[in-house]
Structure 1
Amino acid sequence: MPVLSIIACEMLEDELAYVLSEDHDLNQLIVVENRQSIRFVRKLKSINCQPKLFPLEKVPIFLKEANNSVYNSVYNSVYNSVYNSVYNSVYNSVSVNISKLFLKFPFFKKIPHNTGGKSKEKNGEKPIVVVNTLKLGLHADSELLRSEIYQNIRKMAAFSDGILIFYGNCGHSLRNTVADFKDLPCSLYFLKDEKGEIVDDCISVALGGNDNYAEVMQSGKGIGMIYLTPMWASSWKEMRMESNNTSDFNDSFLKKHYKRVVKISNEISMGSEFNKNVLNYARTFDMSITEMEGSMEIASKSYLSAKNDVCKKAVSD
C-alpha cells in the first residue's frame, strides 16, 4: 500500500493537524514518537484523529507487518476467487450437459437456466501517512535546519513512496533540496502557493501564499510588524530561551524596529489562550495588535496533491 511521509515543522502543527483531520480516506495515520509529537498528538485526538505512535526506527517494522497483512488478505481473496471460479466452471459444465439431456423431456423445458454473473469493481488502495515533526529551535540555524531535514529525508525514503516537506523555504535553507536528492528513490513534495512556488515560511503558509504575505507587509506602510500564529504566540518564550538572545528576540532590537503585532487566527487554535499569548507578547515588546484571519488553503492543497500523486503512482505501478 502507498506510504506518504511528512517531515513537518513543529510551527506548522496546527495546519497539519487540520488537514489530517479533514482526510477520512486514510488506511492508517502514524506519528513518529519524539518530544515534539506530544502536543501534536494531543491536538489530533482533540479533533477525533487517532494516530499510532512509533519511534522512527520502528516504523518500517510496522509497515512491513501491515503489508504482510494486506498480502495475506489479497492472497486469500485471490485463492478463494480462483477456487470458486474453477468450482463453478466445472459445476456449470456438468450442469449444462445434464440440462441438455433433461431438456429432451418437455417437463424440464420449463426450468429457466440462469447464466448471469457479477463483476467486482476494484478500489484504489488507501495510503498510510507517516508524520515526523521536527523541533522549533532548528530555525535559529539554517545549516542545522537543512541538515536535520536532509537526515530525515534519507531515513524515511527507505519506506516511503513520497515525502512531503511541510516547511517553507525558511531563509532559502531548502532551495537546493530537489537537486540534492535527484537520485532519491521516492518523490519529494513541497508546500506551494497557487503559482506553484514554494512558500517563503510558515507565515506565508498561514496567510495563503507569498503574494498575500507581500500584500500584508506592504499594507504596513513601513511600520515594522511581527506576525503571530497560534503556534508562534504559544512558543515564543521557549524559542527565546533557546535563541541565545538573537535579534529575533532581543528586547531593544524589537522595540526599536517593530511596532505592531499581526495576530493570525486559524480554524483549530482560536480562543482565550491565543488572545492571552498575543497580548502578553505585545505588552512585552510595546506593540499594538491588529488581527487577520488565516488560511489552511496552502496546507490542504499541498497535502492532497502529494497524497493523490503517491496513490496514483502506486496504482500505475
Structure 2
Amino acid sequence: MGRLGIIACQVLEKELACLLREHHEISRIYIERSAENTRFASLLDDDRTRTVNDADFLPVRCSGTEVLVDVLPAALHSDVDELEYRCNAQIDAMKQNTSAILLFMGLCGNALQNVVVREDVPLVTIEDDGLVDDCIVALLGRKRYMEELRKMGSLFLSHGWVTHWDRIVRKIERDMEGFKMVLRLDDYRRTRYIHTPGVDEGNILAAAQDLSNDMELEFTSMRGSLDLL
C-alpha cells in the first residue's frame, strides 16, 4: 500500500484515464484542482476520484493503494526550460505526500534530462531501451518508431495531438499557415494516426482526417499499444 504521484502530459490524458480505470486495486484517485485536471477528471469519470485544492492536506495514511495525479498542459515540450521547471516544481510539491512519482511523458527534446537524475525522490519513467523520447515512442515502441521514421515524410498524430492540436500549433508556429509551410519545406507527405487500444476515439478519427486534408497530407493510420505505459 502507498500513494503514487503521477505527473502526466495532457497529450497522454486519454491513455492515462484508460489505464487508471483498468487498475481496480487503486482505492482512491486524488486530482489537484486546475483546468487540465478538471478536464482529466471528467474524462476519467470514476467514483474513486477526489479533487483536492492542496495535496499537503491529504491523509497521511493511505486507504489501500492511492494515486495523486497532476496533468500538465499540452505543448510544453516546445519550451524545454518551461517543461523542466514545471516538472521540477510539481515533483517538489508532490514528494512529501507520495512514495514515488511516475513521469507519464517522454524526454520531450531532452527537457527531462536534468529531472530524471534527481536523487531526492524515487522517480519512475516510461522506458523502452532507455527513457522514451516522446509520447509517440511511448505508443509505438522505439523499434517500430525508428522503422516508421525510415519511411520519411510522416507526421504522427495521436488522440491527444488531435484533441489539443490548436494549442500545440500555436506554441510551435503561432498559426496553421506557418505550420503548413514548415511541413512543405520538410517534405512531409502523410499523417500517421495512431489507434490506441482501449481509448475511446469518438469523433477524433474524423478530426484527424480533417486535419490531414487541411494540411494537404495523405491520411493513414496504424495501431499503437499501451504496453509501455
> Match of 1:192?
127
Say whether residues 1:62 and 2:58 are aligned partners.
yes
Q: Which amino acid aligns with 1:29?
A: I
Deviations 1:200-255 (A, max 9, x none): 10001111x2112111222x2x3x11111111112112322344538996221113
Assess if the C-alpha contact under 8 Å between 1:143 and 1:173 holds in 2. Answer: yes
Give the structure-1-normalised TM-score: 0.67
Give the structure-2-normalised TM-score: 0.91
- One of 150, 157, 161 as aligned partner of 2:88: 150
> Match of 1:289?
219
Say whether residues 1:138 and 2:134 are aligned partners.
no
- Give the 3 Å change call, closer, same or farther, for CA 25–279 of structure 1 in structure 2: same
- Give the 3 Å change call, closer, same or farther, for CA 265–192 of structure 1 in structure 2: same
* Larger fraction in strand: 2
Identical aligned residues as a percent: 26
Give the 5 Å matches for 1:190-269. Answer: 190-193=125-128, 195=129, 197-207=130-140, 209-218=141-150, 220=151, 222=152, 224-245=153-174, 250-256=179-185, 257-266=187-196, 267-269=198-200
> Match of 2:4?
4
Say whether residues 1:178 and 2:116 are aligned partners.
yes
Counting matched residue pairs gives 227
Contiguous gaps of at least 5 residues in structure 1: 71-124, 300-317
Contiguous gaps of at least 5 residues in structure 2: none
Q: Distance in 2 between matches of 1:11 and 1:253?
A: 22
Q: Which amino acid aligns with 1:154?
A: D
Deviations 1:49-75 (A, max 9, x none): 5410112xx2221223xx2xx7xxxxx
- Give the 3 Å change call, closer, same or farther, for CA 249–133 of structure 1 in structure 2: farther
* Larger fraction in helix: 1
Q: Distance in 2 between matches of 1:243 and 1:178?
A: 25
Assess if the C-alpha contact under 8 Å between 2:28 and 2:66 holds in 1. Answer: yes
Query: CA RMSD for the aligned pairs?
Result: 2.1
Higher relative contact order (CA 8 A, sep 6+): 1
